[in-house]
Structure 1
Amino acid sequence: MPTIPSEGSLPPAREPLPRPAPEPHRHREVAESFGADAERYDRARPRYPRALIDRILSAVPGAGTPGATAPCATAPGPRVLDVGCGTGLVARQFAAAGCQVLGVDVDARMAGLARRYGLETEVAAFETWDPAGRTFDAVVSGQTWHWVDPVAGPAKAAQALRPGGLLAVFWNAGSPPPQLAESFAEVYRRLMPDSLAARQWSVPAMDAYSALCGKVTDGIRKAGAYGAPEQWRFDWEHTYTRDAWLDQVPTTGGHTRLSPAELENVLSGIGAAIDAAGGGFTMRYSTLAVAATRNGID
């Protein structure tokens, strides 16, 4: 189980995030591949620390007390737009905190699963999505904003936010024990050295996502519709069994388009590395967030 998150400042950006290209938002074919196994994605992907949800809601004027139960019909909670909602992992956490949530996702398969959980979801690329006059108290995005145009995305979010509303985008950066991380990297170097998955293990996740947060901050500033962006960090841990980690591996961008044979070889190698490490491991996660308030006064 995750430990209680702690909050701190982000380390400086050092290296670029390993991606299929320098501008991942131009390669939506990868983003649109996650729905091939939406149920696995929903089951295996990590959630987000409650401290992050509370921090976002505490920054939304009129959101009420973080941790409150769902409001009654006469006192609706904050209106939250979840960009790249996928199967609703983020949306369900905000709904549980008493928010009214609308999801937007480019993949109809992912959105369909979110609807099965009772979430209102629309299918569209966010840059071309139509707010249709609706406004929100917060626009959030978990593990997705790198697939959104870095300037058009904040501009569209500003159209959907009420004055004083919050844009908050975030990622889970996971670090297994160093020796196991090297064993994972060796599997990819041996089996598929030129793959996206191999590149993802070539830079520590914390460095990579810190650099990404810097790029997102620049994009928000260029949009010209927000106050000064802030960067937040929440640290927590989760222990994986061998089977639980192997269940998650196929849901990541470096694996969703592998052939069955390639994936089987990778999973065999990763499984052997975990077996050699004792059959499980503790992942140290840092959830990194960039947040900015929409200019203007209600």
Structure 2
Amino acid sequence: MPTLPREQPEPTPAKSHEARRMAESFGADAPRYDQARPGYPEVLIARIVAGSPGSPGSDVLDVGCGTGIAARQFRAAGCAVLGVEPDARMAGFARDRGLPVEVAAFEDWQPAGRTFDAVIAAQSWHWVDPSAGAAKAAQVLRPGGRLAIFGHAYEPPPEVAEPFAAAFRRAAPDSPLSGQPARRPLSLYQAAYEKFADQIRETGQFHDPEQWRFDWEQPYTRGQWLDLLPTTGGLTRLRPDQLAEVLDAVGSAIDALGGRFTMHYTTLATTAVRAAVS
């Protein structure tokens, strides 16, 4: 799904929300996930907070909050954040760091009359049933509240991506994910966010969605990238021997680059404001 790296091959956007076993596999090593996964551009966080009716001090609902990476950034910006997370292991990790989290899939979560200034989904909306997600967000947003769906598009350089793809095919030849290309164009990621916008429009309860884009870079050492890879969806369900084969190949590729490389990130967002209740 085009909100995660090539090292996390996933189902097509139309089917991601049905792949519950993969969706709930990330908690296998929650501490590693929290340490290795990148955060989000501060300018994105600030823009969402400034555009929410409760700012400063907005009430934020974080859909699929995971270990709380985005939630902690919003809390640092002065927001009160409630997480909803289907994986109890991820939720437990976030709670241990002071984030209130309720364990449920967003489609099944019961708001009990609570409403929010912003509903965010950081790297998680593709796991939400598209027939229910935007309407559920509209239900819990106050008039003028903002739905913000965002995530990273990042493709390692060919020198890293191509050895990864070859190793994944060798290690897991029967995986439906092994036939994906080594690198995917940004337009594929953008198309997914345009589809999110269409789903929001279909509710008839939001002003016209906007598309935001933030470009940035982050350097990785060999060790840092090999810490991140096991947290991605294509690898969380591999056997230890399969994972070792993939990591060995990628590690050798990074060694050939001098032991480090620079990742060029694009963080994409689809965001819309809840229309006034008539």
TM-score w.r.t. the length of structure 2 is: 0.92
Distance 2:176 2:197 in 1: 25
Q: For residue 22 of structure 2, what is the aligned residue in structure 1?
A: 30
Q: For residue 261 of structure 1, what is the aligned residue in structure 2?
A: 241
Root-mean-square deviation (Å) = 1.9
| Matching of residues 144-223 of structure 1 within 5 Å | 144-195=124-175, 198-199=178-179, 201-204=181-184, 206-223=186-203
Residue 207 to residue 186, structure 1, CA distance change in 2 (3 Å)? farther
> Partner letter of residue 270 of structure 1?
V
| Matching of residues 33-72 of structure 1 within 5 Å | 33-64=25-56
Residue 199 to residue 46, structure 1, CA distance change in 2 (3 Å)? farther
Post-superposition offset of 1:55? 1.2
Distance 1:232 1:195 in 2: 34
Q: Is the 8 A contact 1:127 1:149 kept in 2?
A: yes
Q: For residue 105 of structure 1, what is the aligned residue in structure 2?
A: 85
Distance 1:195 1:231 in 2: 33
Q: For residue 19 of structure 1, what is the aligned residue in structure 2?
A: 10
Post-superposition offset of 1:174? 1.1
Distance 1:50 1:196 in 2: 36
The SS at the match of 1:256 is coil
> Partner letter of residue 11 of structure 2?
P
Q: For residue 276 of structure 2, what is the aligned residue in structure 1?
A: 296
Distance 1:36 1:43 in 2: 14
Q: Is the 8 A contact 2:163 2:249 kept in 1?
A: no
Post-superposition offset of 1:201? 4.5
TM-score w.r.t. the length of structure 1 is: 0.86
- Percent identical residues: 59
Cα deviation digits, residues 267-287 of structure 1 (max 9, x gap): 111111111111110000000
Does 1:119 find its partner at 2:99? Answer: yes
| Matching of residues 228-247 of structure 1 within 5 Å | 228-247=208-227
Cα deviation digits, residues 96-151 of structure 1 (max 9, x gap): 00000000000010000000010010000101111111110000011100000113
Farther-moved stretch of structure 1 (211-220 vs 186-195): 186-195
Distance 1:125 1:26 in 2: 12
Q: For residue 139 of structure 1, what is the aligned residue in structure 2?
A: 119
Post-superposition offset of 1:59? 1.5
Post-superposition offset of 1:197? 5.2
Unaligned runs of 5+ in 2: 1-7
Distance 2:227 2:249 in 1: 14
Find runs of 4+ consecutive structure 1 residues off by over 2 angstroms. 17-22, 175-203, 205-208
Cα deviation digits, residues 209-241 of structure 1 (max 9, x gap): 212112211111112211101110001110010
The SS at the match of 2:193 is helix
Q: For residue 231 of structure 2, what is the aligned residue in structure 1?
A: 251
Residue 265 to residue 282, structure 1, CA distance change in 2 (3 Å)? same
Post-superposition offset of 1:57? 1.3
Paired residues, number: 270
Cα deviation digits, residues 159-191 of structure 1 (max 9, x gap): 110011000011111132233333333333443
> Partner letter of residue 281 of structure 1?
F
| Matching of residues 67-82 of structure 1 within 5 Å | 77-82=57-62
